[in-house]
Structure 1
Amino acid sequence: MPNKQQIKRWQRYLANERAEAAVYRHIAKRKEGEEREILLSLAEAESRHQDHWRSLLGEHANEKARPDFSTVAHGFLARYFGSVFALALMQSAESRSPYATDADATKQMDADERIHAEVVRGLAERGREQMSGNFRAAVFGMNDGLVSNLALVLGIVGSGVSNHFVLLTGVSGLLAGALSMGAGEYVSVSSQRELLDASKPNPDATSAIPALDVDANELALVYRARGIAIDEAEKRAQLVIRSIHHPSASAVLDTTHDKGEVVGSGTAAAISSFLFFASGALIPIIPFLFGLSTAVAAVIACVLVGLALMITGGVVGVLSGAPPFLRALRQVAIGLGAAAITYGLGWVFGVSVT
């Protein structure tokens, strides 16, 4: 007969399997085609695991038990924040399955969980690739604004200047940093687009194909120069050569390759970077707008920035499939650590000047 600890553990496993299956089914409702089928198959696999725990629990299987908090959080994210966040967390959860060290779980169940982790990893990767670049720019742009302007403000606070001067410096840092980010993003995206445009095939080359004194192997060099494999390059060249002599077809020099890159608008990237950086850089100077003493305002600024860094760090952790709390703590440590260094430097220089 199982003891109370075993029953409690099995009931928790059963509740987790039910909750995880519900998460997969809920995400599947928003998907179509192959992704939907994969998610429903994962939910079915979780149902098989439920049967195992029900058979062990017997009459105790009907007793209600709550799933782990993390599993409940996955369901919440799936319902209200989209499948990308939920799948990223499920990837981490499947990788940390307790079945590998639990004697009451079968080897097949442990193997299932490991494979599930790879399946979810693939689905989460699709979601990450489909996410708008502007969203990533929002997270990282805001983080840059938070850290850089807090460091600037605390460096000025450490020098012992008045509240008014700190506020002026913070606003100047916000505008300077946001304009620099926007201009840099515009130049970066525009330059990348220009480089890609320069690498595209010249459309005039197609019209010259019928007059070429070459064979298919020589024409295949065009495709191989674009990174296409030898066999595929020769097949394409043969098609082009045959189309030259076919009266109902026209020769087309198609050098497209699946490693192409999509680049957005430089103007849109500049505007989004400006706004995201400015929104983050605004937070450290908010307390100084209310006429508080410099010391009190600096403490409140650190608290506000710390909370904001927890959020951005947690989001980065979720999207990367890593534990969000640890990523959040790392983000806070880096941000406040940089601010502490600049405060110390400001204090040293302020003392030396006086």
Structure 2
Amino acid sequence: MIKERRSTRSSAVFNPGMESFMQNTEYVSPEFARQLILDELFDLSLYKRFREISGPELHPTLDELIKVESGHLGFWQELFNVEISELNFARRLKLEMIVLVCRLFGAPAIDLILEAIEVYGIRKYLTLWKQNKDNPMGKAVQGILKDEFEHEDVIVGRLKDRIINPDRIRNIFLGLNDGMVEILGAVAGFFASFGQNALVLLAGLTTAVAGSLSMAAGAYVAVSSENEVRRTQEEKARFLEGGTGEEPRTEPAIRSAAIVGVSYFIGASFPLLPVIFGAHTALWSILTAGTIIILVSMALAFLSGMDVKRRALTNLVIITVAAGVTYLIGMMVRNLLGIEI
């Protein structure tokens, strides 16, 4: 059951060290305080927009999230004596992009984004607490951390009948990412070795098909093994409970294999598109795949609660290294081994 959230003013009474912190804020820079408040304002604004575009089945959950987030916003504004009522341009743009996606895909997208925001919020507050647990700031955030765990985690967890599986969506993005990175590297190496569009296309398609089948087979084996372990554990639990309890639940291995294989092949197709349309160098494949990889990285980072910039930068480094190394290998094969096509 959801507990009634304490008001902002009562939080100072129930949270040890709160009053001393409110009188001594040298632990927090004005810019940090502003960013923290803007984060809460963004979440609150997003929940309100979700309520406007969602169906009545999500309204009770969103109403409670709005209530909790309003308390969070008031908490930080009173704590830092700073009131912000409007989002900055970057956050407004992010808000509108998320709302657009949710308008297009409906309740499944809202469900997934709510989980992503929950993960991000918990990680943010845990990091803040760990960095300041030995000073008044750490004591001050204890109350809102408990609020994050006890309220938002339970509220979002009420979405029992999920239209989509968040783990499955993350696997799709990971498959897309793997396919793009691996085939981009292959295309770069093939261009360096062969230098002919038709041969690069043939080799690239062959590699993409082989890679997607390999990924699908790997996913099938992994899920099958996981299902066996889960089935054994649940049957053991049912035996110890005297035959009562739920029937073992497993993820269909064939469906998981198909999702991974197809998503990999779709990702692999992006570096091949410029080749299909007649590109004679790896440059266009790098530009095309690089752009898509950045977008996929941003989506994957958001869904996983990771730092978006760090994830995008990591993938840019990976594709740069992959394309560079495979291109050099292709040049070595062509020049040092005397292959002429």
TM-score (normalised: structure 2): 0.66
Would the aligned equivalents of 2:118 and 2:153 in 1 still touch at CA under 8 Å? no
Distance in 2 (CA, whole Å) between partners of 1:91 and 1:200 is: 30
- Aligned-residue identity in percent: 19
Q: Secondary structure at the match of 2:309?
A: helix
CA offset at residue 149 of structure 1? 1.1
Change (3 A) 1:177 1:27: same
Distance in 2 (CA, whole Å) between partners of 1:340 and 1:120 is: 48
1:149 to 183, 201, 226: 183
Would the aligned equivalents of 2:176 and 2:266 in 1 still touch at CA under 8 Å? yes
Distance in 2 (CA, whole Å) between partners of 1:144 and 1:128 is: 30
Distance in 2 (CA, whole Å) between partners of 1:127 and 1:335 is: 40
Correspondence for 1:281: 268
Distance in 2 (CA, whole Å) between partners of 1:330 and 1:155 is: 21
Q: Does 1:334 align with 2:318?
A: yes
Q: Secondary structure at the match of 2:336?
A: helix
Amino acid across the alignment from 2:46: V
Correspondence for 1:263: 250
Q: Secondary structure at the match of 1:134?
A: helix
Summarize deviations over 1:187-245 as a string: whole Å, max 9, x none. Answer: 333344355556664xxxxxxxxxxxxxxxxxxxxxxxx479xxxx6xx5xxxxxxxxx
Correspondence for 1:41: 68
Change (3 A) 1:287 1:52: same
Change (3 A) 1:128 1:148: farther
Distance in 2 (CA, whole Å) between partners of 1:324 and 1:123 is: 26
Correspondence for 1:349: 333
Distance in 1 (CA, whole Å) between partners of 2:175 and 2:32 is: 44
Correspondence for 1:313: 297
Distance in 2 (CA, whole Å) between partners of 1:27 and 1:19 is: 12
Correspondence for 1:183: 217
Amino acid across the alignment from 1:306: G
CA offset at residue 31 of structure 1? 4.3
Q: Secondary structure at the match of 1:286?
A: helix
In structure 2, stretches of 5+ residues that fail to align are 1-28, 103-108
Q: Does 1:84 align with 2:115?
A: yes
Change (3 A) 1:328 1:263: farther
Would the aligned equivalents of 1:12 and 1:66 in 2 still touch at CA under 8 Å? no
Change (3 A) 1:148 1:126: farther
CA offset at residue 299 of structure 1? 0.4
CA offset at residue 178 of structure 1? 1.3
Would the aligned equivalents of 1:26 and 1:78 in 2 still touch at CA under 8 Å? yes
Distance in 1 (CA, whole Å) between partners of 2:332 and 2:159 is: 45
Q: Does 1:304 align with 2:288?
A: yes
TM-score (normalised: structure 1): 0.64
Would the aligned equivalents of 1:85 and 1:318 in 2 still touch at CA under 8 Å? yes
Would the aligned equivalents of 2:47 and 2:66 in 1 still touch at CA under 8 Å? yes
CA offset at residue 330 of structure 1? 0.5
Would the aligned equivalents of 1:78 and 1:86 in 2 still touch at CA under 8 Å? no
CA offset at residue 269 of structure 1? 1.6
Would the aligned equivalents of 1:91 and 1:321 in 2 still touch at CA under 8 Å? no
Amino acid across the alignment from 2:64: E
Q: Does 1:290 align with 2:277?
A: yes
CA offset at residue 337 of structure 1? 1.1
Amino acid across the alignment from 1:269: S
Distance in 2 (CA, whole Å) between partners of 1:146 and 1:124 is: 37
Distance in 1 (CA, whole Å) between partners of 2:208 and 2:31 is: 54
Would the aligned equivalents of 1:84 and 1:124 in 2 still touch at CA under 8 Å? no
Correspondence for 1:249: none
In structure 1, stretches of 5+ residues that fail to align are 1-5, 202-225, 237-252
Question: Bigger CA drift: 66-75 or 327-336?
Answer: 66-75
Q: How many residues align?
A: 289
Distance in 2 (CA, whole Å) between partners of 1:127 and 1:331 is: 34
Distance in 1 (CA, whole Å) between partners of 2:261 and 2:119 is: 28
Amino acid across the alignment from 1:316: L
